[in-house]
A and B are shown apart, each in its own frame.
Chain A
């Protein structure tokens, strides 16, 4: 695989002795750092891997990325252990603290970790094995090439002599560091750890209720904080009755926190610090805060809906961001035109563990933090900037997270904790948000509106395609905003005449990435609309999809966020589509009162085709019975347990978005507040889910996201088949079928 060779040439290995004897090895892969830097990481950094082997045979692999439930803390060490031929039962995994210089990018998001680490983690394992073999060769006095390794033991097949890795580790530390170019990685058929269903490394502790999450952090003398802020976005604090809060039982202090003017760092608020978080919350209720809610109080979902209607009525987007051919001519000469408007709401993330952060302001000016964050390095940098200190004065411990879904890519709660800790120096303080705080102070999946048109010729071929996308922007521009659509959003490259335009509404509603950002909305819009186009020609959607990409070749590989990555390949679309149709019995009659719908989407380098079987129950509510999903995420499923869990979870997540979830804005604030009115899926709505993976000759890619998007249009299309009524607005309102 030439990709691996390319990486090897730039890689750097370092080895040494452990202090108590044994081998320590690190690999630095500068080529990956450049790719990661595109995502905002420090350009000087490199992607590093660390492994050590103690004289007792215990292998320790540093888990450098944050664990949010995606299984990374188990999966990355599997890659090292495979090439090392380690005994998995003797592998320990430790969670790294934040250290850009040592570990390179440490983040959880974008399904990045698998493609970024697939080669480097295996290389470091292979290098360690080579050094152990070198040491064994000296002991056994035979060439290393004649020796075999398995389960942490080197064997000389000629005489049956064996030595364990532990016995060899100290001598291996004296071996020459191998030339990365000569390292040979294993053939896939020889894998014994990769491809094995391995349970989560922390799970045995979790089932016993041991402290492991950020919110479980406990330090001597620790106090608890609650933070009151205006529910209206962009509000400023005028006054608060901190004396009333201070008079409450158990309260140690209450004080105003002035925002730093950065909406995703520190907003105005009032902190209450107490012996117990519930006491802090009780006192918080006495604060009587007065807010200057400013210009945004007039904002609402209803207002945004009207603005979108107005933008559509103008007939012209503010800006055309992707176009080719002559769209107007295509529509003028069309034999048939299909038109429809689609929309979807703002969404919250609501990970189960509420936002929290523990901070301790030390006398020497260091801020020590324990934070469940998907982007802890970004938090370290921005907290340091806010405090006016160098990043090395902010020490960050990464904790396991009770879910992320993109919410913890934004570190606002970390800034709040730092600001509060400054006011109670020397005392560890744990800031905890209530669920209401979480639902109302999120960085939401942006709502959006689309007016779509397709021109078809007499043969039913799409000759023109147009989208007027009404989306959102911050008044002052602002940071990463997933309210954008790619220029090549499918089927852009497969139609001769195209126009994608957009109109941006200004908003103070904070926006952020939600699992499968942009794709979770656009799959619904595009795959539902293409189902309409197919239906207008008497076809089904999978037939139309295969026709659209008929004869198309794969896009060339390019260098993206992950380094070298393959381009979109229609052959992979075809393979998963055909597989999903076969799995679901597509084309055969569905059970009485049930119907099947199809959806395909390509995101985060993964291809998923899904079929949903749905019905309306006696009360007219949507019921999903079966979901069949076929996915292609490359040549190898690294951990079948984790893979299946991610795919099933993503599908249920998508069904929840389709059927129940919306954040509505009223008076410049979020109307919803907790799980009673933001009703994420429960066990009773969960269908039978059938997932199969189609292997292709591509390096493995991530599974945190790509199974989610297509299930939404698949459900919407099934409901059309069932009722003849189109779902063009999320969440699905069953009243439309009455």
Chain B
């Protein structure tokens, strides 16, 4: 039985066991490898996607739970102005070192700013505490999020 899941605005058919985590359906069946595998147990946040606008760990979301839901992945982040503003700030601040966790960081940061456009420093830390960056680019993650918030989530011309 194939599951129908809306991913980045497109309905995709997934002929996989319903208990398969979204992460592996994305990466291995759909070839959408922007969403990253880090720990498999919801500890690191590398696999963060949005399900109906809420940040979720795709390694722990079964495909069967997604029928009728709208999933956004890193490949769809640039569809929104907030997403593009974050991508821009990430480059301007040169946030990353290895970059592997950054898809998850960006997805979580965009969910944060969508629900709280002007977070305090403490709120940024609290919201981002589920995302590990092993290179420890945390100082720059903080700065990039604060910068986007200060610009009201808008892209620089």
B-contacting residues of A (Cβ < 8 Å)? 68-71, 197, 199-200, 202-204, 206-213, 215-216, 218, 224, 249, 275-279, 350-354, 400-405, 432, 434-436, 641-642, 645-646, 648-649, 652-653, 656, 674-676, 680-684, 686, 689
Tell me whether A683 and B87 are in contact (CB under 8 A): no
In the complex, which residue of chain B has the Cβ closest to the Cβ of A655?
Answer: B136
Interface string of B80-119 (1 = CB under 8 A from A): 0000001100111010111111110010000000000000
In the complex the two chains form, is B44's CB within 8 Å of A352's CB?
Answer: yes
Contact B97 A352 (CB under 8 A): no
Q: Contact at B43–A681, with CB atoms within 8 Å?
A: no
Q: How far is the CB of A213 from chain B (nearest CB, A)?
A: 6
Q: How far is the CA of A211 from the CA of B103 in the complex (A)?
A: 11
B7 at the interface (CB under 8 A from A): no
C-alpha spacing A202/B91, complex, angstroms: 10
* Residues of B close to A353: CB separation below 8 A: 36, 38, 98, 100
Q: What separation, in Å, do the CA atoms of A51 and B157 have in the docked complex?
A: 34
The answer to whether A675 touches B98 (Cβ under 8 A) is: no
The distance in angstroms between the C-alpha atoms of A352 and B126, with both chains bound, is 21
| Contact status B97-A645, CB under 8 Å | yes
Q: How far is the CA of A215 from the CA of B77 in the complex (A)?
A: 21
Could you say which of A210, A400, A642, A648 contacts B139, with CB atoms under 8 Å apart?
A648
**Closest residue on chain B to residue A208 by CB atoms:** B78
A71: contacting residue among B24, B33, B90, B97, CB under 8 A = B97
- CB contact list, B1-56 vs A, under 8 A: 16-17, 20-21, 23-25, 27-29, 31-41, 43-44, 46
- Once bound together, how far apart are the Cα atoms of A210 and B78, in whole Å? 12
A432 CA to B138 CA, complexed, in Å: 27
Residues of B near any A CB (own CB < 8 A): 16-17, 20-21, 23-25, 27-29, 31-41, 43-44, 46, 73-75, 77-78, 86-87, 90-92, 94, 96-103, 106, 124-126, 128-142
Known: A215-B37, A435-B38. A209 touches B74 (CB 8 A): yes
Q: Could you show 16 A-B contacts with beta carbons less than 8 Å apart?
A: A197-B94, A200-B97, A202-B99, A206-B99, A207-B106, A211-B33, A215-B37, A218-B31, A279-B17, A352-B38, A435-B40, A648-B137, A649-B135, A674-B41, A675-B44, A689-B139
Q: Considering the chains assembled together, what is the distance between the CA atoms of A254 and B13 in angstroms?
A: 28
Q: Which residue of A is nearest B103, CB measured?
A: A209
Q: What residue of chain A has the Cβ atom nearest to residue B23's Cβ?
A: A278
In Å, the complex CA distance between A354 and B47 comes to 13
Is there contact, CB below 8 Å, between A277 and B132?
A: no
* A215–chain B nearest beta-carbon distance, Å: 7
Which A residue's beta carbon lies closest to that of B75?
A209
Q: Which residues from chain A contact B35 at a C-beta distance below 8 Å?
A: 209
Instruction: Flag if A435 contacts B39 (CB, 8 Å).
Output: yes
| Min C-beta distance of B43 to chain A, whole Å | 4
| B90–A686 touching, CB < 8 Å | no
Min Cβ gap A404→B in Å is 8
B28 touches A278 (CB 8 A): yes
Whether B91 lies near A204 (C-beta < 8 A) is yes
Name, among A215, A641, A649, the residue most crowded by chain B CB atoms within 10 Å (CB to CB).
A649
- Asked if B24 and A278 sit within 8 Å, CB to CB, the answer is yes
Considering the complex, give the chain B residue whose CB is closest to the CB of A677: B43
In the complex formed, the residue of B with least CB distance to A654 is B136
The interface residues of chain A lying within 8 Å CB-to-CB of B20 are 276, 278-279
- In angstroms, Cα B125 to Cα A686, docked, is 9
**B75 contacts A645, CB within 8 Å?**
no
**B44→A676 contact, CB < 8 A:** no
Residues on A with beta carbons closer than 8 Å to the beta carbon of B125 = 683-684
Closest CB-CB distance, A171 to chain B, in whole Å? 37
Complex Cα gap A350–B98 (Å): 13
